[in-house]
A and B are shown apart, each in its own frame.
Chain A
Amino acid sequence: MEQAEVMLDLLFYIFSAIAVAGALGVIVNKNPVTSAFCLIAAFIGLAALFIQLDAYLVGIIQILVYGGAVMVLFLFIIMLMDMASEERRRFGLGAVAAGLLVSVVFVVQLLRVLGDYSPGSKVLGVLPADAATDVEQIGKLMFTQYYFPVQVVGVLLLIATIGVIVLSKRELK
């Protein structure tokens, strides 16, 4: 193997370790702020993996939207909570059982899908050097082939925004 490939492999393991450790930290920690920060670490690890696949836009958007905007709002709300009571909270049997059920179903599904592939059996073709950048390709797809779904998602988000405003205004009265 070339040096570059060794380095890419090494980086892959480092970033996946960050992502997995972050994801574990989210559920293991009792302190909500620590959990939120572990989630941010997981997002950043994931973004690095995207960037390693040359999907710069997806990786950057991952950080920009989830790491920089969504999690800031999460943290904003978490910080206003009573930390001590959150740390004391215990989970009931029902919650544990439901959590186990969901994760078992998910793992089974994952194994079904991944069981069909052996590592390295599916190799993606190399992009030609003169190919358009990923930003351009995503933009073109979004505004030609997937134009209708994009518009529908936009309208849905607008409805959600209006719904939130209506609901919060009603509480004020």
Chain B
Amino acid sequence: MDWINIAVTLIKIVVLTFMVLLPMIAYSVWAERRVAAKIQNRVGPNRTGIPFTKFGLFGLGQPIADGLKFIFKEDLTPAHVRTGYFWLAPALTMVPALMTCAVIPFGSELNIAGYKIPLVIADLNVGPLFIFAIASLSVYGIVLAGWASNSKYPFLGGVRSTSQMISYEISLGLSIVPIIMIFGELNLTEIVKWQDANGWLLFPFWGGGEFWQEALLLIPVVISFVIFTVSMFAETNRLPFDLPECETELVAGYHTEYSSMKFALFFLGEYAAMIIGSGLAVTLFLGGWSLPFGIGSELVDKPLWLGIAHFFSFLIKMIGFILFFIWVRWSLPRFRYDQLMRLGWVFFFEIALANVFLTAFILLYFN
């Protein structure tokens, strides 16, 4: 039994990380370029399909071609860098992003031949905290890249990134406190099960629950959702908060000195963080893997088709959220640095703190 469990866990790690997450990273780069092109009224990469044929397939071969290009490009290490750290930095951005997917519930459970396989790699009791802890380590990759490059612009990028990520980690952490108070639970699997039974947190229109309490709770939930999403943009260094790599001021910020696959790792690490962030947002606010309108929530023994439907439900919501990330990137201009800091410290921090008390008040008096 022991060995079966270990084997199943290994298969889950390989399938969910390397066969679900990594292709998603590659294809969200493609999606970003296509959506950007659509928004700017261009065509975008639409030709790379099956080699030596005329099948373009909407450019779906582009990520593979990009990967090949990155691998075969000359890997340049400038003479003035601190070599050891210069090599370590890209790995340090990529590894935490991949590690955090261990606690995201990708689906309910697959019922295969009597075995119930939960579609989460590690069912921890401290899910969101685990994600924040590991994600907070990913700042080292950027800081180290900035410092190890030993030149002006990367260093400025690294310093900016440090203060930005520390500032927004606080509002990110505080924004989910009301959510956890509502669930009374830190286990992400249990959180999704709760939403499966009681309706999604942002759309509590089906399932059980007191009407007035649910209606009033929507206020703190929406505030939390806004703070969480905006802080997530800042944490993943995405536009409108991509100050660490702001091209117009810092060349390319912390990865100015990087080339070939090492540059690609920074790039992929950013997208991995974005996907995990979307996954967490979907899990906390949009019902995770649960189907809309409470379909199938009354079944205790989930048949195989329901497990598969849950998996795809999660993927579709996550992809929707990623598209939202991309849409925002090409719609909003970049913040100035002082505006960014003021937004984080003066507005979000206080609002998130007040939101905790508001939620406690509603939970206490409208029960």
Interface, chain A (partner B; CB < 8 A): 2-4, 33, 37, 40, 56-57, 60-61, 63-64, 67-69, 72-73, 75-76, 79, 133-135
Q: Which residues of B contact A2 (CB under 8 A)?
A: 2
A-B contact pairs, 17 of them (CB 8 A): A33-B85, A56-B126, A61-B133, A63-B134, A64-B132, A64-B133, A67-B136, A68-B132, A68-B133, A69-B169, A72-B139, A72-B140, A72-B143, A73-B166, A76-B143, A76-B163, A135-B125
Asked if residues B130 and A60 are in contact (CB atoms below 8 Å), the reply is yes
Asked if residues A67 and B126 are in contact (CB atoms below 8 Å), the reply is no
Q: Which residues of B contact A33 (CB under 8 A)?
A: 85, 147
A-B pairs with CB below 8 Å: how many? 68
Nearest 9 CB-CB pairs, A to B?
Answer: A68-B136, A64-B133, A63-B133, A133-B125, A60-B129, A56-B126, A79-B147, A60-B133, A76-B162
Given A73-B166, A76-B159, A135-B126 contact (CB < 8 Å): yes
A95 CA / B169 CA spacing, docked (Å): 38
A37 CA / B159 CA spacing, docked (Å): 17
Q: Which A-chain residue is minimally distant from B5 (CB atoms)?
A: A4
**CB contact list, B172-187 vs A, under 8 A:** 186-187
Having A37-B140, A68-B132, A69-B169, one finds 6 other A-B pairs with CB under 8 Å, namely A56-B130, A63-B134, A64-B132, A67-B133, A68-B137, A72-B139
A135 CA / B165 CA spacing, docked (Å): 26
Describe B's contact surface by its main secondary structure: helix
A4 CA / B2 CA spacing, docked (Å): 8
Task: Determine how close the nearest CB of chain A comes to the CB of B323; give it in whole angstroms.
Answer: 29
Task: Determine how close the nearest CB of chain B comes to the CB of A99; give it in whole angstroms.
Answer: 27
Is B24 part of the binding interface, using a Cβ–Cβ cutoff of 8 Å?
no
Describe A's contact surface by its main secondary structure: helix
Is B158 part of the binding interface, using a Cβ–Cβ cutoff of 8 Å?
yes
Task: Determine how close the nearest CB of chain B comes to the CB of A13; give it in whole angstroms.
Answer: 19
Asked if residues A69 and B136 are in contact (CB atoms below 8 Å), the reply is yes
A74 CA / B133 CA spacing, docked (Å): 17
Task: Determine how close the nearest CB of chain A comes to the CB of B103; give it in whole angstroms.
Answer: 11
Task: Determine how close the nearest CB of chain B comes to the CB of A39; give it in whole angstroms.
Answer: 12
Asked if residues A64 and B166 are in contact (CB atoms below 8 Å), the reply is no
Is B124 part of the binding interface, using a Cβ–Cβ cutoff of 8 Å?
yes
Q: Which A-chain residue is minimally distant from B143 (CB atoms)?
A: A75
Task: Determine how close the nearest CB of chain B comes to the CB of A83; give it in whole angstroms.
Answer: 9
Task: Determine how close the nearest CB of chain A comes to the CB of B91; give it in whole angstroms.
Answer: 13
Q: Which A-chain residue is minimally distant from B163 (CB atoms)?
A: A76
Q: Which A-chain residue is minimally distant from B184 (CB atoms)?
A: A136
Task: Determine how close the nearest CB of chain A comes to the CB of B282; give it in whole angstroms.
Answer: 22
Task: Determine how close the nearest CB of chain B comes to the CB of A44; give it in whole angstroms.
Answer: 8
Interface-centre pick from A40, A64, A67 (highest chain B CB count, 10 A): A64
Encode B156-171 as 1/0 by CB contact (under 8 A) with A: 0011001101100100
